[in-house]
Amino acid sequence: MASAASAMFSRGIGNSSSKENSMRGLVSFIADLRNARARELEEKRINKELANIRNKFKQGNLTGYDKKKYVCKLLYIYILGWNVDFGHLEAVNLISANKYSEKQIGYLAVTLFLHESHELLHLVVNSIRKDLADHNELNNCLALHAIANVGSKEMGEALCADVHRLLISPTSKPFVKKKAALTMLRLYRKVPSIVQPEWNERIIAIMDDPDMGVALSVTSLVMALAQDDPETYKGAYTKAAVRLRKIVVDHEYMGDYVYYKVPCPWLQVKLLRLMQYFSPSEDSHVRQLMRDSLQAVLDNAMEMPKNVQQNNAQNAVLFEAINLIIHLDTEHDLMVQISSKLGKFIGSRETNVRYLGLEAMTHLAVRAETLDPIKKHQDIIIASLRDRDITVRRQGLDLLYSMCDNTNSEKIVHELLKYLQTADYAIREEMVLKIAILTEKYATDVKWYVDISMRLIAMAGDHVSDEVWQRIIQIVTNNDELQIYAAQMTLKYCQQEHCHETLVKIGSYILGEFGHLIADSKGCSPIEQFMALQGKFNSCSPNTRAMILSAFVKFVNLFPEIKSQLLQAFKTYSHSLDSELQQRACEYLTMATMPTDDLLRTVLDEMPPFPERASALISRLDKKQNAIGDKRTWSVTGKDGLPGLDRSATLKQNFSGSGPAATATINGAIANGAAAATNGRNGTYTNGGAVKSPTEELAGLDLSTGSSMPNLASALHLSPDWEQGYNRLLLAPSGILYEDPQVQVGLRSEYRADVGCLILYFTNKSTAPIQSFTTTLDNRAGEQLKTDVKSIPDTTVHPGSQSQQMIMFEARGVFSLPPTIRISYIAGSLQALTLQLPVLLNKYMESATLSSDDFFKRWKQIGGAPREAQRIFQGHDVSYDHTRRVLEGLKWGVLDGVDPNPRNFVSATVLHTGAGKFGCLLRLEPNAENKMYRLTIRATDDAVPPILMKAMEERLTQPWPQ
């Protein structure tokens, strides 16, 4: 009874389960029927609606409202996934409507219906241009949206000038400028050539716009432009420093742009990032602006807000500030502060904070002179390799790579190898590259290098790129100390039952080249080497088989005792279906069976060392690091340019020529399977040296065809009427340098020894304020004249008010070219001046007093050429008073009663430079009857007389400046 009941119970359960499954299947079937029915009904409804709309459009008597209504229906149908090609032209026509609501739907439809290669797109260009030129801002915005969303190369080239006009127009509303800037950014990313280099000044000037939204949008545009052409857009550096200080120190911002108590965080981040695209400024004033701003950001970060949004915004600004501090690399006090902060961040509970902390610490490791502050957190960094987030794990890998040196290399390499076994497949190839580079770079022991390299390939052979195993072969070939141990280890791996194919490639090459060095060792006899490679033949790819055959022909030359086995192998594979293997086997068999072995010995000559070349591993790693869109000023491989760092004396000799900087891509030298043919004693491959690719051969040539933006601050672009004020101030310490109806530029100067101070005064003479007032200095004298901007003028100069700028000029040597300055500002449109500053070598002279005997004694001591310059030239006014004024204006000390002829002038002066003091003597002989001068200048340095002669001649041949 019990058994029967149990059986019935079991059958009951089975029946119940079967009924449930049947019910589920029935429900699913009914649902499918309903979905199919719904799709069928939808298709009927759509077809009916499309037929109705098509008929309405064919009738041609629709009002604007009806056109808009039917295009809206087509939009909805298109979004559902149905084809509405017949409505494309109607949408294009709707763009030309006068009503905003109709035009809006037309633009919306065009941006959805048409792609950048659509044949109808050229029909909308004229309509878009018309809307860009419209005085209605809403129409401007619709046109800008269309360009940004659909803009093709042709549309961008046709309309970029109109977009630029809206961006710089003083009548454009802020929201139009914002959209114009972002549209320009979209077009630039699509077609970089459409942004003209001459637009740079005007675009940079908009960074001073009082509207934060406009400044943010334009800064985004400038960031993209500056990454590709930092020289043209270097003026943005100072703009960014000034604007940042106004926000974080002076608190000049609109209340609408405060996000959870953080003012303009997006603009702050972009300004901080923008300054990292340029080399740090040497101007003390700009450095102070940045120092104040960065200190304020660090002080603000001392507060630990509980609000998540405030915390995120604050951290975004903070980490970008940290990256800028590291980039500057000279702010010691700020560096100390961030070192302690980063240690806390990498141990944070928040994933984003940990990631940003590791990234900033990686930047610090690349740029810092000492790694001691980072090594304190080594255990935490190693633990980050097992973080739950892959981005944190990847960043931890970058940091470990960057912080590695000779003191911690073994521990880091072993930790990376340990982690490699469980690492994500997405980062294994990058890990293999970094482990290989670190192993080579910090190897202090021959066995350690070989053991780690072989273990690396055995563990992650599928992720080992060709560059890695080729590099190992190159190092072994170039270093005698490695060859015996490397041959023993490769044979050991090849004798194992499971051996990765990459190790077989290495074994084929190394045993073929250096197998004879270990032939007398136990377990390394020729027949054992042959059997090890022969056992892996059938399981390898054709490329590897080709390398094994090449190793066998080397054995024929080296090991005659196993020649019969080798010949049998060649005979066997001479019937291979693979044409490459068949040809190799046949050729090798023919060579091995010749009556004499002269040809065999000649062909198999000794393998030469590989030539030195930049590391293929580091080049490959650089490509992976630079795959990101942002062109940063640093990379993880930034310290890898130094060869042989931190190596012991033994391996410095053994690894000579094989450091990271001397690394060579093996290319075809280590045979790429079927492409490799042999010709060496130990089977050297035909292209045994590293062969340059066509790209590498042309690496030294400048193949660029584009022209860079001219330096508008240079003397080539001096403004009209610049000379009058310049000539006047060559002879006077202060006065008016330039003046026009809008601005007046005054100058006051003072020189002490080799240092000069110029203060420029800018006065707004107009009745309207001047915006975005900017000055750019161009120092043509190079290292001989050091400039330091101590202050910059205000960006806004109100009517009748004045702004000033102080610049220090230090004469470090003898220079001949005066600096120039570019002054640009917005007064309705962009206005610009380029003026030459009266900073000549004469300004650094100090008049001296000598007696007659001392003067002529020193005159004779200096002697003639090359320390003498003499010219005879026509003078403008050879009168005594005019000549004396010129001499004294150019800082020559006139010595009265020294020359026997009272009409002649003799002068003495001392020139002060950072390279030393130079005595200068002058003798000027005027001829009043013929209005001629004979001028002789001697100096203790032969570079000085020609420069002083040129300045004197220019002044004496012209009237006194008024």
Digit-coded pLDDT (tens) for 479-531: 888 889 888 888 888 888 888 888 888 888 888 888 888 888 888 888 988 88
Instruction: Please give the pLDDT value at position 237.
Output: 93
Strand, coil or helix: 304: coil
Mean pLDDT of the residues in the chain: 82
**pLDDT, average across residues 170-185:** 94
- Whether residue 952 is predicted with pLDDT greater than 50 in this model: the reply is yes
CA–CA gap between residue 391 and residue 196 (Å, rounded):
38
CA–CA gap between residue 868 and residue 698 (Å, rounded):
47
Confidence of residue 736 (pLDDT cuts 50, 70, 90): very high
CA–CA gap between residue 380 and residue 509 (Å, rounded):
41
Confidence of residue 885 (pLDDT cuts 50, 70, 90): very high
pLDDT, greater one: 21 or 121: 121
- Whether residue 739 is predicted with pLDDT greater than 90 in this model: the reply is yes
Cite the beta strand spans of 875-904 per DSSP E. 893-894
- The stretches of 753-851 forming alpha helices (DSSP H) are none
- Report the range out of 70-74, 584-588, 812-816 with the highest average pLDDT: 812-816
Whose CA is closest to 280, among 241, 248, 249?
241
Strand, coil or helix: 664: coil
Compute how many other C-beta atoms are within 10 angstroms of the C-beta atom of residue 99.
Answer: 12
Instruction: Please give the pLDDT value at position 32.
Output: 65
CA–CA gap between residue 764 and residue 801 (Å, rounded):
6
On whether the CB atoms of residues 657 and 563 are closer than 8 A, the answer is no
pLDDT, greater one: 15 or 777: 777
Confidence of residue 203 (pLDDT cuts 50, 70, 90): very high
Confidence of residue 863 (pLDDT cuts 50, 70, 90): confident
Omega cis (within 30) before 819: no
pLDDT, greater one: 22 or 654: 22
Counting Cβ atoms within 10 Å, is residue 82 exposed (0-12), middle (13-18) or buried (19+)? middle
**pLDDT, average across residues 538-564:** 84
Instruction: Please give the pLDDT value at position 518.
Output: 87
Residue whose entry in the numeric block shows the structure tokens 């940091």: 399
For the ranges 195-199, 271-275, 676-680, which has the lowest average pLDDT? 676-680
**pLDDT, average across residues 956-960:** 89
CA–CA gap between residue 398 and residue 412 (Å, rounded):
12
Confidence of residue 457 (pLDDT cuts 50, 70, 90): confident
931: left (phi over 0), alpha (psi -120 to 50) or beta: left
Instruction: Please give the pLDDT value at position 10.
Output: 40
Tell me how far CA of residue 171 lies from CA of 64, 165, 417, in angstroms. Answer: 31, 10, 63
Residues in binding site = 24-25, 56, 65, 69-73
What tens digit of pLDDT does each residue of 631-646 get?
666 666 555 543 332 3
Radius of gyration of the chain (CA): 39
Instruction: Please give the pLDDT value at position 638.
Output: 56
**pLDDT, average across residues 807-834:** 92
pTM confidence score: 0.77
Compute how many other C-beta atoms are within 10 angstroms of the C-beta atom of residue 316.
Answer: 18
Q: What is the DSSP letter of 795?
A: S
- Whether residue 114 is predicted with pLDDT greater than 70 in this model: the reply is yes
Whose CA is closest to 562, among 575, 552, 572?
552
**pLDDT, average across residues 756-781:** 93
Confidence of residue 686 (pLDDT cuts 50, 70, 90): very low
Cite the beta strand spans of 653-781 per DSSP E. 734-739, 743-752, 755-764, 771-778
pLDDT, greater one: 926 or 516: 926
Strand, coil or helix: 641: coil
- Report the range out of 84-88, 267-271, 319-323 with the highest average pLDDT: 267-271
CA–CA gap between residue 865 and residue 945 (Å, rounded):
10
For the ranges 28-42, 417-431, 574-588, 923-937, which has the lowest average pLDDT? 28-42
What tens digit of pLDDT does each residue of 379-423 get?
898 988 888 888 899 889 889 988 888 888 889 899 888 888 888
HSE value, Cβ hemisphere, 13 Å, CA-based, for 369: 5
pLDDT, greater one: 203 or 577: 203
**pLDDT, average across residues 110-115:** 86
**pLDDT, average across residues 225-254:** 92
Whose CA is closest to 670, among 483, 452, 471, 488?
471
Instruction: Please give the pLDDT value at position 166.
Output: 94
